[in-house]
Structure 1
Amino acid sequence: MGNWRVYVVCLYAAIGGFCFGYDTGVVSGVLTMKPFAQTMRGKEELNALEKGTITGLLLAGCFVGSLLAAPSAEMLSRKRTILLGCLVFILGAALQCGANGYAMMVTGRAVAGLGIGALSMIVPLYQSELAPKNIRGRLISLQQLMITAGLMVAFWVGAGTERIASDLSWRLPLGIQIIPAVILCLGVLFLPFSPRWLVSKGRHEEALDVLAKLHAHGNKEDAYVVSEYNDICQQVELERSVAVTSYLDLFKGTVRRRLVLGILVQVFQQFTGINSIMYYAPTIFKQAGIPENSATLIASGVQGVLNMLATIPAVLYLDRLGRRLTMITGALWMAVAMLLCGIVMAATGHVSYNSDSGANEIDMSGNKSASYFSIVMIYFFVAGFAYSWGPVGWVYPAEIYPLNIRAKGTSITTAANWLMNFVISEIVPIMLSTITWGTYIFFGCCCFVMAACVFLFFPETKGKSLEEMDAVFGGSVLAFRDIKKHANSTMPTLDASVEKQSFGDEEKH
């Protein structure tokens, strides 16, 4: 189901993910450049607090931006919120590129963070409301694919400019990010409005027209189009009748369960340890026995390429494998990789205290086989994340909420992601410098816990329309008990405290 138009629209919207990935990845290289430090503070290197502030203010801006995007998405539309997020991001990127001092740089980082936070929340939401149910996972996964593409491009652009002796070495990589943002900003004007948002605003004919163009080459009489349109209209009327519109409704009935699970997905995504690898790859590869700068650069670059390529299977097969199986297998894969890496480091490495840096360091240079094994395990870990929790972390929260509070719910879960991202960025350097190999053991254990939680509590959402999520989350809290029942279910009674009986025995699509 779905013709080429829905693929083009969702892929184009995913350029917001590219901006997100690029801006997140470009700063790690820029912070180490001497011309950058000279312009910012008139010295050859920024201290840890100054670097941390530049990184942290982006994350703080993302947290706030993801929350502010919710009222904008409901009032202005999903489409216009993407446009607004782009404009804010362009302003922040321009401030960074033209910065003449530290104050202007941190201001630019915070402003860009507002734009990235808004885009990271609104793009998956927009994609979910356009996508047919049988390929919704594939289309939302394009967001993660573009994030990884942005990270990869940012790394290699930084690697290519780091040897330039002038300010161009850092202004160029910071300025390049304006290009995809401008492309998205101009193109979004031609993208359709979300049909679900149009119906919620009473613009029924426009909604039917969008559904027809996206799914049936403009045929408004197509059976799928008519069925989807009727389901959306019924859901909107239902939610209006019970006033499902405020943040308080997120804490009522089955919606509370969805909020908890949506937040857990985003929190778990960060506690896989992926950003410990992305942010601190040079330190990790050095611990694994690759001390030379050039070798570390190559190892980190290969990791970025692998991260992107390993996301492609999720785009192709997520809607066949389902969300549960993908998350469980991905968590187990990552757990094994992290534990083996940590165990080998502990067994073969020598931990010593460096009085100059005030940190523990692990030396594996005496055992090349163990060193290479640890690096391979890190690559296995990245591949495991890329096909599972990377894309599903965006797919699952974007598809589980009722329409009238979908923007609010998605904004809270996205904000949780950015909050945990900040926490991880703060604690990982401390963990690497104190418990060294224990860092990998910790994240490996977290992944085992995640697999168990998904098996116990997370219902399957593949193949269900957004309007059927009331039924999916209306069963037992122990989700594994309801897997067979939901596979053959029709629409049951909605939760009485938030969603009344609506569709009786009507069967979906």
Structure 2
Amino acid sequence: MGKELIIWIWIIVYVVFFFLFSFHTLSTLILTRTTNGGRQRQTNLSHSPQHLHSPLRTSRFRHLHSSRLRSVPHSLTPFSFSLISLIDHNLPLDADIGVMSGAALLIRENLKISPLQEEILVGTLNVFSLIGSLASGKTSDCIGRRYTIVLASFTFLLGALLMGLAPSFAYILCGRMVAGIGVGYALMIAPLYTAELSPAMTRGFLTSLPEVFITVGILLGYIINYSLTSLSQHIAWRLMLGLAGLPAIAIALGVIAMPESPCWLVMKGRIPHAKRVLQRISTTPEEAELRLHEITKAAGPNPDNWRGQGVWKDLLIRPTRPIRRMLVTAIGINFFMQASGNDAVIYYCPEVFRATGIHSKKQLFGVNVIMGIAKSSFVLLSALYLDRFGRRPLLLLGTFGMAVSLSSLGLGSRILEESTSKPLWAVVLSIVAVCADVSFFSIGLGPITWVYSSEIFPSRLRAQGSSLVISVNRLVSGVVSMTFLTISEKITFAGMFFVLAGIMVVATGFFYVFMPETKGKTLEEMETLFEDNDNNRYEKKETEMDAP
């Protein structure tokens, strides 16, 4: 009892420290960067006359003017803290990933299920989240972003209750199907809602926060698993799965106090309401007016009573050149995010390390906790510097680092698979490589996928475009989760990790060729950015010049 009490005290202290540190760092980051960075870049522009003549650069100048408006002493409004505290709309997924990695091990032993059934159990949530992802775009365009979040929360809560009270494998499966639909809704709407409320200079940080909360939730799930291992198996896994639904209640209640997306309000023709929201979330009346003008212009003429008609035609049947490039880039980053195998590594980490010779449940779950601490630390670091260094450099660093880490993990696993003595250095190498893999994922693909997917599409296509690419994300996640153990049995865990390393090498090349930098761009400037390759090359050069 004393050990469990110490663990729960540690959880509370860690969470409180994490949130206080995030809030303090965010306020310092925004105040410093918008004041100094905006003034510095504005000065640079004033000394470059030719910079003002290109249409793209004129657009850039307008954005920097809006950044200057934001560089006031009180640039972090009280609303920002409310936004941060409620941005964890992805907590349902993070709680599930964290607890399922341990619960699957206990369910397998308690209900005597096969490895194939375990794969189906884990992957079902990801496959059914595809339904929520596909439906979320149309739903959010019809009922609004806020009520879509409420719908996602209660759907996941219902699924968590079914899993926690399940008397058999079939009932757990049904619960994961229902929870998966809620997760699909949440994964699309969280970054989209955040991006539409955030100013351009801090959009990367704020939109990456759902991934931060996913990572912290995974860590808390690991710690909960570790603290419940002393209970009997049939009680422990039910508590693990049932408790994952608690955050959904807080999210559903809290989001009611949040404002609706001004982009959605403008598309519905509710301009006065959108103006009031922008005045609430902006730091000056001038900034609110400027953002309203940009959103109204991007929405096009006659937005009243818009219901999303013609969106799929513009996205898939007759896309313009910029839209086509947006789709290729967004689908690519979502594909590689899940093809990296990160979710599978997290879900099946106990199985991987059991194969290395670690058999104690306490030790297996302890390795998970170490991995969770590394993952949560690096995702916060990435979020803090995403708007400073840009999306592209961090993504390239992350994917290349994952390729090296997965190769090291494959090497360590191969040595342990072929050795009967299980050398300690190979075990340590495997643990370090796993921690490095999830850390590099948290630097690059983890947060940047959500940021990029939610910010590059024009306003009238944003919900459906995000819905489409997140659906690809969930489909690939489901396939990887439901085949990871089967493929590993055929080619060994080491072989699987070498394959994943090769995929990350391909991903690095893809991002280098196709991904333009979006740092500092307003949502309304994205279509110009994707117009042609010359503009993309200009953006890369400008990013290099701006980098410290």
| TM-score range relative to shorter protein | 0.7 to 0.9
What corresponds to 2:92 in structure 1? 19
1:210-235 residue CA offsets vs partner (Å, 9 max, x unmatched)? 1111122xx5xx22221111011111
Per the TM alignment, residue 364 of structure 1 is displaced from its structure 2 partner at its CA by: 6.7
Shift in Å at residue 350 of structure 1?
Answer: 4.8
**1:397 alignment partner, SS class:** helix
> 1:63, 1:419 within 8 Å by CA — same for their partners in 2?
yes
Distance of 2:535 and 2:409 partners within structure 1: 33
Q: Deviation per CA, 1:411-461: give whole Å up to 9, x if none.
A: 111111111111111332133223232222221121121111111111111
Q: Tell me by how many angstroms 1:191 deviates.
A: 0.6
The alignment partner of 1:32 has SS state of helix
Structure 1 spans left out of the alignment, 5+ residues: 39-43, 352-362, 489-509
Q: Distance in 2 between matches of 1:186 and 1:468?
A: 34
Matched, 1:230 2:303: no
Partner of 2:342 in structure 1?
274
Q: Is 1:198 matched with 2:254?
A: no
Is 1:246 matched with 2:311? yes
CA distance in 2, matches of 1:345, 1:95: 37
1:321 aligns with 2:389: yes
Tell me the equivalent position of 1:337.
Answer: 405
1:193–1:210 CA contact under 8 A, matched in 2: yes
Residues in 2 aligned to 1:239 and 1:469: alpha-carbon distance in whole angstroms: 22
Choose which of 111, 135, 138 in structure 1 pairs with 2:178.
Answer: 111
> Secondary structure of 2:425's partner?
helix
Candidates 444, 447, 456, aligned match of 1:388: 444
- For the residues of structure 2 that align with 1:120 and 1:343, how far apart are their CA atoms? 34
Q: Please give the per-residue CA displacement for 1:90-136, whole angstroms capped at 9, x wherever unaligned.
A: 22222222223333322221111111110111010000000100110
Contact 2:102 2:365 in 1 (8 A): no
Please state how far the C-alpha of 1:170 moved relative to its aligned partner. Answer: 2.7
Letter in 2 for 1:56: G
Whether the 8 Å contact between 1:6 and 1:215 is mirrored in structure 2 is: no
- 1:306-455 map, 5 Å: 306-346=374-414, 348-351=415-418, 363=419, 365-436=421-492, 437-455=494-512
Alignment map for 1:477-496 (pairs within 5 Å):
479-480=536-537, 483-484=540-541
Q: Report the Cα distance in structure 1 between the residues aligned to 2:279 and 2:459, rounded to whole angstroms.
A: 20
Q: Aligned partner of 1:464: which letter? A: K
| Unaligned stretches of 5+ residues in structure 2 | 1-69
The one of 124, 143, 161 equivalent to 2:210 is: 143
Q: Following the alignment from structure 2 to structure 1, what is the Cα–Cα distance between the partners of residues 491 and 396?
A: 27
State the TM-score, normalized to the length of structure 1. 0.85
Q: Could you give the per-residue CA deviations for residues 276-332 of structure 1, whole angstroms, max 9, x where no partner exists?
A: 320221232244454444332211221112111111111210011111101101111
The answer as to whether partners of 1:198 and 1:207 remain within 8 angstroms in 2 is yes
2:525 maps to 468
Task: Map Cα deviations across residues 128-168 of structure 1 (whole Å, 9 max, x no partner).
Answer: 00010011010011100111111111222122223322743
d(CA) in 2 for partners of 1:70, 1:134: 26
Q: 1:103 to 1:343 in 2, by over 3 A?
A: closer
Deviates more, 1:134-143 or 1:377-386: 377-386
Task: Output the amino acid matched with 1:48.
Answer: P
Q: Is residue 457–residue 480 contact of structure 1 (8 Å, CA) maintained in 2?
A: no
Identity of aligned residues (%): 30
Q: Are the equivalent residues in 2 in contact too, given 1:141–1:315 (CA < 8 A)? A: yes
Q: Deviations over 1:347-397 (max 9, x none)?
A: x4453xxxxxxxxxxx47443223312321221111111121110011101
Task: Tell me the C-alpha RMSD between the 2 structures.
Answer: 2.5
Q: Letter of the aligned partner of 2:270 in structure 1?
A: R
Number of the residue aligned with 2:142: 75
Task: Name the structure 1 match of 2:224.
Answer: 157
Give the TM-score, by structure 2 length: 0.80
Task: Tell me if the contact between 1:303 and 1:379 (Cα under 8 Å) persists in the aligned partners.
Answer: yes
Return the alpha-carbon distance in structure 2 between the equivalents of residues 239 and 470 of structure 1.
20
CA contact (8 A) 1:457 1:479 kept: no
Letter in 1 for 2:393: L
Structure ranking higher in helix proportion: 2
Q: Is the contact between residue 12 and residue 184 of structure 1 (CA under 8 Å) also seen in structure 2?
A: no
2:86 and 2:251 in contact (8 A); partners too: yes
Indicate how the Cα distance of structure 1 residues 380 and 24 shifts in structure 2: closer, same or farther if over 3 A, else same: closer
1:303 to 366, 371, 382: 371
Distance in 1 of aligned mates of 2:536 and 2:447: 21
Q: Residue 22 and residue 481 in structure 1: after superposition, are their counterparts in 2 closer, same or farther (change >3 A)?
A: same
How far apart, CA to CA, are the structure 2 residues paired with 1:107 and 1:168? 19
Tell me how far apart the structure 2 counterparts of residues 418 and 430 of structure 1 sit (CA, whole Å): 19
The verdict on how the C-alpha distance between 1:271 and 1:477 changes in structure 2, with shifts beyond 3 A counting, is farther
Cα distance in 2 for partners of 1:327, 1:336 equals 14
Determine the structure 2 residue equivalent to 1:258. Answer: 326
SS in 1 for 2:248: helix
- 1:422 aligns to what SS in structure 2? helix
For 2:383 and 2:181, locate their aligned partners in 1 and report how far apart those are by CA, in whole Å: 27
Distance 1:171 1:285, change over 3 A: closer
In the TM superposition, what is the alpha-carbon distance from 1:59 to its structure 2 partner?
Answer: 1.5
Structure 1: which amino acid aligns with 2:481? S
- Counterparts of 2:169 and 2:410 in 1: how far apart (Å)? 38
Shift of 1:85: 1.0
Deviation, structure 1 residue 344: 4.8
Q: Does 1:178 align with 2:245?
A: yes
Between the aligned partners of 1:88 and 1:374, the Cα distance in structure 2 is 38
Separation in structure 2 between the aligned mates of residue 122 and residue 303 of structure 1, nearest angstrom: 28
2:104–2:122 Cα contact (<8 Å) kept: no
- After TM superposition, give the deviation of residue 171 of structure 1 in Å: 2.7
Q: Which residue of 2 aligns with 1:506?
A: none
Cα offset, 1:22, TM superposition: 0.5
Equivalents in 1 of 2:422, 2:193: separation in Å?
Answer: 52
Matching residue's letter, 2:349? A
